Amino acid sequence: MSTVIDRLHPNLLMGLGGIFVILIAATVVVWLIRKAKPGVDLGDVPARIRSWWLMVVIFTTAMVLDRRVSLAFFGFVSFLALKEYLSLIPTRRADRSVLLWAYLAIPVQYLWVGLEWYGMFIIWIPVYMFLFLPMRMVLIGITEGFLRAAGTLQWGLMATVFSISHVAFLLVLPSAVNPNGGGPALVLYLVFLTQFNDVAQFLWGKSLGRHKVVPTVSPGKTVEGLLGGLGTTVVLAVVLAPYLTPFTRGWAICAGVIIGLSGFIGDIVISALKRDLGVKDSGDLLPGHGGILDRIDSLTYTAPLFFHFVYYLAV
């Protein structure tokens, strides 16, 4: 075990440890509330915290073990998300084999990440898959519903595989890019701030929310929640930046704004998708949260935008 610990930057370990401290604190608070007021209804909060434990333990394990394990983990997240997406949307029975090809795009995409082949990583899904999958559909020969099938499949691949794989590419960036813990610390910074932003927007909205932002898409979202969450995320982005990133204070503020705003957009984009399909949650993989898409919705926007922000600044 000592070799694993040695390999990791102390700041990264501190960061991971910090997340556990937050989770333990949340668990203790729930326990104390229940002890003080037996029978109090906490809604789905205890279930949410239990699911957080599961996610944090798996994420931490994936991050501290071998790099290949980390990449396999993100690939698996993409797989679960694509599967959830394809199970929710209307599909054509003729396209069974096309969907199989779409699944096969996942290991290949993460292979490019493992090889650190940026050029291929960035065009594999937007160019090659975009050209290949409709070709397979056309060769099957059924034109009814073709545009919808090709369009929805490409959209799903972009959101669940292309976007999420940016987290993985962040992981393999050369350590020179970030003297404070390298790629893994940037992943931690991005994922933690994205998830923290979700929680912060939720809490600000619950306590002060008055004015709805997008009532037709997500009635629960308020201007107060958005701004409160954004402000909190920016503060935290600045506080954490010296430990996990190469950012100056100005760049850290930019990173916080990118994550806070685009995380909100990712959230409501997936909300719009669910509303269109007539479902409340994307699945029930994570009790209290819903499905995996419900949990990584913000990340589908924050990951590519934060990645290119870093890439532009540092590479």
Partner 1 sequence: MAEQAGSIGPLAWCLRHAFSWLLVRPVVLIGLGLNVRHRERLPKDGPAILVANHNSHLDTLVLMTLLPVGLLPRVRPVAAADYFLANPLLAWFSTTVIGIIPVHRRGGSSAEHDPLAGAARALEADNVILLFPEGTRGNPEEMARFKSGVAHLAKRYPEVPVVPVFLHGLGKTLPRGAFIPVPFFVDVVVGEPLHGKDDHQAFIDELSGRIKALDGEIQQPEWI
Q: Could you list the residues that contact partner 1 (CB under 8 A)?
A: 79-80, 83-84, 86-93, 96-97, 99-100, 103, 144-145, 277-279, 283-285
- Of 94 and 314, the one with the shorter C-beta distance to partner 1 is 94
The phi, psi pair for 290, rounded to 5°, reads 115, -135
- Give the torsion sign (CA, 202, 234, 58, 296): positive
- Of 74 and 264, the one with the shorter C-beta distance to partner 1 is 74
- Of 24 and 277, the one with the shorter C-beta distance to partner 1 is 277
Minimum distance from residue 125 beta carbon to partner 1 (Å) = 18
* Cα–Cα dist 178/196, whole Å: 22
End-to-end CA distance of the chain: 33
- Of 123 and 142, the one with the shorter C-beta distance to partner 1 is 142
User: Which distant-in-sequence residues (6+ apart) come within 8 Å of 281 by Cβ?
Assistant: 274, 289, 290, 291, 294
> Could you count the other beta carbons within 10 Å of the beta carbon of residue 55?
18
Q: What is the DSSP letter of 211?
A: S
Minimum distance from residue 185 beta carbon to partner 1 (Å) = 30
Whole-angstrom CA distances from 294 to 124, 240, 276, 282 are: 26, 26, 15, 6
Question: Can you tell me which residue has the tokens 């190469």?
Answer: 246
CA 101 to chain centre: 23
- Of 35 and 93, the one with the shorter C-beta distance to partner 1 is 93
Q: Is residue 235 classed exposed, middle or buried when 0-12, 13-18 and 19+ CB atoms within 10 A define those classes?
A: middle
- Of 85 and 169, the one with the shorter C-beta distance to partner 1 is 85
Q: Which two tokens stand for residue 3?
A: 């070799």
Please name which of 164, 25, 145, 55 lies closest in space to residue 106, comparing C-alpha atoms. 164
Minimum distance from residue 90 beta carbon to partner 1 (Å) = 4
Minimum distance from residue 279 beta carbon to partner 1 (Å) = 5
Minimum distance from residue 96 beta carbon to partner 1 (Å) = 5
- Of 18 and 145, the one with the shorter C-beta distance to partner 1 is 145
